[in-house]
Structure formats: structure tokens, C-alpha cells
Structure 1
Amino acid sequence: MDTSLKSTLHRRGLRMTPQRQLVLDAVRELGHATPEQICTRVQSAAPAVNITTVYRTLDLLEELRLVRHTHLGHGAPTYSEREHEHLHLVCHECGAVGEAPTELMEEFAARLREGQGFAVDVTHVALSGRCADCVRADEAQLEEAQ
């Protein structure tokens, strides 16, 4: 059992439940996962847990700053542990999700802060484009056509 989760909940007058622990465990195990994927994982251990419980628990865990969500495009957000900080690279061709260090955005974030007064959360950023595999496949296809 996660004692930090239990003590955080207790300080807020909430109790630790098996469902809360299962949802947090699923987020940790899956890395990046939608609420539906998390629900499927939780239901493998506790079939009676429904998607509404998972959404409510994710909201609570995010409020407690134990998980974070990111929008990787259209559709449901994905959840990961709070400490799991990086940029998300989403291939709009094959759907692959890659990672890049947040330091790559430091100059951009500083320019936004100076010029616009806007402080960007770079850990919440998803960049859309084409992954290396899709770029290579297109280049190979072009070479064959020539």
C-alpha cells in the first residue's frame, strides 16, 4: 500500500480505498494511459470498479498532485505519474508517442515568459508531427519511386 497516498488522503479527511490504490498502481504501471486503459487494468483485479470511479479517482489524484494529465491529440487525456516529466512527441501518421527532455523547450518557454508574460507548463506539451520511422518510410518510398 502506498503510505504517502494514505497519509495525504488522511490529512485531507479522506480515507484510503482499494480502488484508489488500484488506480494509482495502474497509472504507475502503464506510464501513459487513458482513463479507459486504466479502468481495464483496474478491472483485471477488481471487476466491479467502473469508469466513473476511475475518472473521479484520477481527478482526486491530480488534485493531490500525484498524477498529471496530458492531451496528446483528440480524444481522452492520458495520465502519468507527477514526476514523469517530458515533452510528448505524437506521430499523426502512425500514432506513436515518443518522449523528449523538457530542456529542449527552455529557450522557447523563456521567450514566451518575457514577450507574452505567459508561463508555459512544458510537461503538459504534446508536439504533433511525424516520427522517425514514418519519415524514413516516406524517404525510402521516394527513393524507390525515382
Structure 2
Amino acid sequence: MALQIRSDTGVSHVQNNRLGSIGTGLVLIFCLVLVLVPFGVQLFNALFEWCLVQRSHHYVQQILPAVEQAVDLSSLSSGQARISPLTARRLIGQLFEAHLPSMLRGRLYMESLILDERILSFDPDHWMGDRQPSYQPIAILEARLDRASGGHILITHAVEILID
């Protein structure tokens, strides 16, 4: 013979505890969701921004080698590689805007294209002899990625034109 204790409502004590533990569990789950949802949203936004930065780096690296099309052919025939600044800026600017991915449109902007030269030392054993290049052109592309939080990230990549 089992002895059961009943409350004023007529529900046994075991069933009353079970109902209480379900209610407590639901309240605990609700509070946990209220705490974790903002962290999840923040994590999602951080991952999306990381993807934008990675895609921006990839895009700038993809566009920059096109600067070789702006090499001045008359100076190249004399053994010197010179990049025409007007042609390079126009070409890279047009390519940058024309092929910008939709996820970066309105977020990634071309800041500047810097054309520089690195002086090369004279090598008496060079295969070109006295016509060997005296400098090596370098193109540096700077782009600005605007963040949703209001700041911006500067993305810089460089390419060297090798003539050998």
C-alpha cells in the first residue's frame, strides 16, 4: 500500500514537482535566449564584417595586376619599365568601379593609386648589358572599406613590375 500526499488542489506532490520543474525550465530557457540572442547577433555581424574585409583584400589583389597594361611601350623597348600615370589611374579606376562585387558596392572605395620606383643597382654581368633596367616600377593601390559601425578600414596592396 502506497501513501500519497495530496495538496489542496488535489494534485499529488510528485506531479506538482514535475509541473514546477517544467515551468522553471521554461523560464530558464527564456532567460537564456534573452541573454544569448544579442551575443549571436553580434557574432553574426562580426563574421559578416570579417567576410567583407577578406573579400575586399581579394578584390584589390585581383584588380591591381592590370596596371601592367599601363606600361609605356616606348620606354619598355629601351629596357626601362615606366608606367604611364594617367593611363594607369584611368585604367585601374575604371576596372575598380566596373567589376566591384555587389556585396562591396557602397562600402569599398578606391582612395589612391601610388606609382613609385625602386632603384636597381647596376650589375655588370646582366644579360641586357648597358640597357639593363635602372629602376623597377611599383604600383600601390589603397582602398577604403566603410564599416557598418561607422569606422573604416584601409586596404593597401602593392605590385612590382619585373623586367628581366
State the TM-score, normalizing by the size of structure 2: 0.21
Q: Which has the larger radius of gyration?
A: 2
State the TM-score, normalizing by the size of structure 1: 0.23
